[in-house]
Homo-oligomer: A and B are copies of this chain.
C-alpha cells in the first residue's frame, strides 16, 4: 500500500495495514546510528503522525537486520553539535549554555514519541544501544526479538545518558536495583532479562515475527475506538507524573468531554449485536 506520507530522508514511513503506520529508522548501512539532522526529522515524523487522522497506531523499528539503532553516530557527533561547539570556547558558563540548549533540543525531539497522541509500539532488535533505550522508553509498548542486544551505553563514553533514559527508565521498570545496575555498568543485557524485569512485555523469535506481532497489535488497537485508545494513553502518562488525587481529578475532566463521544454507543451496540464497529477518524 502506498504511503500517504512525505518522503523522509532518514525515516521510512509506510502503512502496511489500514490506520497503522510503520516508522523505520532508515540508515541501515550505519546501523541506524543518529546524527542531529535525524532527530530533528524524527520529531517531524512523530508530530505529523500524532495528528494524522488516518493513523491510529504506530509501529517503530529500525530498517535492516542488524540494529534498531546503535545510538549516536559518534563520528558525526564529533563534527557537529555539542562536542564540536566546545572547541576553542573561552568561557565555561557560555559553553554550558550552549550544551544545555543542545541537550534540551535533543530531548524535545525524542520526547515527540511520548507526546504523540497515537500509541507507539517499539520493536527492539539487533543492536539497540544508548539512544535506542532513550527512544524506546518514550514508546508505549516495548517488544523485542530473542537475539536483541540492549545496553544503556552512555557511561562507556564518559557521559550520563541525558536524552531521557535516566529520567524514564525508573518510571517504566519497577526494579531500581536492576535499573541502576544496567545504567551504571553499561553492560549488555538480552531479551530474557529485559522480559523478566519488565522492560519489554513480549519477546519474539526474530525480527520478522516481532514486526508481525507489533503490526497485529497495531491492527487490534486501530480496530478500537480512537477516542478510548488515545484517552487511555494520555491518562496513563498523566498518572505517571502526578499524585493519585490529581490524576483522578484530571481523569474526570478529561472524560467529561470524551464520554460524550458517539463511540460509546457504537461500541455498546456492536457488543450486543456482535458486529464490528466503525469509528470516525480522530
CB of A243 closer than 8 Å to a CB of B: yes
Taken together as a complex, chains A and B put the C-alpha atoms of A103 and B91 apart, in Å, by 20
Comparing A5-13, A24-32, A250-258, the segment that makes contact with chain B is A250-258
Closest chain B residue to A247, Cβ basis: B167
Per DSSP, chain A at the interface is helix
Taken together as a complex, chains A and B put the C-alpha atoms of A180 and B244 apart, in Å, by 18
B104 touches A280 (CB 8 A): no
Least distance between A192 CB and chain B CB atoms (Å): 13
Counting every copy of the chain, the complex holds: 6
B198 touches A264 (CB 8 A): no
Closest chain B residue to A114, Cβ basis: B244
Determine which of B173, B236, B271 lies in contact with A183 in the assembled complex, contact meaning CB atoms within 8 Å.
Answer: B236
Determine which of B177, B247, B282 lies in contact with A201 in the assembled complex, contact meaning CB atoms within 8 Å.
Answer: B177
CB of A40 closer than 8 Å to a CB of B: no
Closest chain B residue to A176, Cβ basis: B172
Size class of the contact patch on chain A: 35 or more
Binary flags per residue of A160-182, CB closer than 8 Å to B gives 1, else 0: 11101011111111111111110
| A90-B262, A91-B261, A156-B267 as given contacts; A252 in contact with B183, CB under 8 Å | no
Least distance between A136 CB and chain B CB atoms (Å): 9
**Residue of A117, A244, A257 contacting most chain B CB atoms (<10 Å):** A257
CB of A227 closer than 8 Å to a CB of B: yes
Binary flags per residue of A219-249, CB closer than 8 Å to B gives 1, else 0: 0110011011111111110111111111111
Comparing A14-22, A62-70, A92-100, the segment that makes contact with chain B is A92-100
B residues near A197, Cβ cutoff 8 Å: 198
CB of A112 closer than 8 Å to a CB of B: no
**Residue of A172, A177, A228 contacting most chain B CB atoms (<10 Å):** A177
Across the A-B interface, give the 7 residue pairs with the lowest CB-CB distance, nearest first: A174-B174, A175-B198, A93-B261, A160-B231, A158-B267, A257-B257, A96-B257
User: Contact residues of A with B, CB < 8 Å?
Assistant: 51, 74, 78, 82-83, 86, 90-97, 99-101, 103-104, 107, 111, 114, 117, 119, 140-143, 154-162, 164, 166-181, 183-187, 197-202, 217, 220-221, 224-225, 227-236, 238-268, 271, 280-282
- A–B complex contacts, Cβ < 8 Å, 22 sampled: A91-B261, A91-B280, A92-B260, A93-B282, A97-B117, A97-B256, A100-B252, A107-B251, A155-B224, A155-B225, A155-B232, A158-B266, A159-B228, A162-B254, A167-B248, A167-B251, A168-B244, A170-B239, A184-B233, A240-B244, A242-B243, A243-B246
